[in-house]
Amino acid sequence: MALETTKKVTSPVKLAHVVLRTSQEAFPKMVAFYKTFLGAKASYENAMLSFITYDDEHHRVAIVALPGLKPKDSQTSGLEHFSFTYPNLDDLLQAYQQRKEIGISPTWCVNHGPTVSMYYRDPDGNNLETQIDTFDTAEEATTFMMSEEMEENPYGVDFDPEEFVEKLKAGVAAKELIKRPRIGPRGLDTIPIV
């Protein structure tokens, strides 16, 4: 293989997995949470390591128990969240209802514009997002993200998932529900997951 010298690094083909570290005490809760949250199973697991999968990848989330870890400090730099995409609004809302029935509720539901998103917290306090894309192409999403509307409100518009469920049942088209309303400027101080 001849090494090509360009200024751009070769991009990967996909994001394969996320690894979370947790305390030995929290390990069972974290593993149970992610298996339940994702409708997943372990492809490998022992008393300190769990490789969790829900699709064709051998693991999407791994959890490792390490001795001596301190609780997460939300006032330090680090990963904000990671996200899981659903194919459509019906599936996103079905997963929401299933989680709600077993006591897992979102901390924030927001229409960002390019996505309709629901944020959750795991037992260690890590944020994770479930979402759908609202545009048919990445180009359309990028156009929205470069718009004046996005500039005035880069965070989005909150929504009530129960209201979305009822409107879908009443026959309102998903395309209508996922269009972000324009509410004007919004500041970081209004975001519940910060």
pLDDT tens digit sequence for 59-69 = 999 999 999 99
Averaged pLDDT of the chain: 94
| Domains of the chain as residue ranges with CATH | 17-67 (3.10.180.10), 81-184 (3.30.720.110)
Both structure tokens of 189: 């101080």
Q: For 1-10, 68-77, 132-141, 184-193, which range has the lowest pLDDT when averaged over its residues? A: 1-10
Q: In this model, does residue 179 exceed pLDDT 90?
A: yes
Q: What is the DSSP letter of 139?
A: H
Question: What are 96-147's pLDDT values in tens digits?
Answer: 999 999 999 999 999 999 999 999 999 999 999 999 999 999 999 999 999 9
- Tell me the pTM: 0.93
Write b or e for each residue in 166-193: b if 16 or more Cβ atoms lie within 10 A of its Cβ, otherwise e.
eebeeeeebeebbebeeeeebeeeeeee
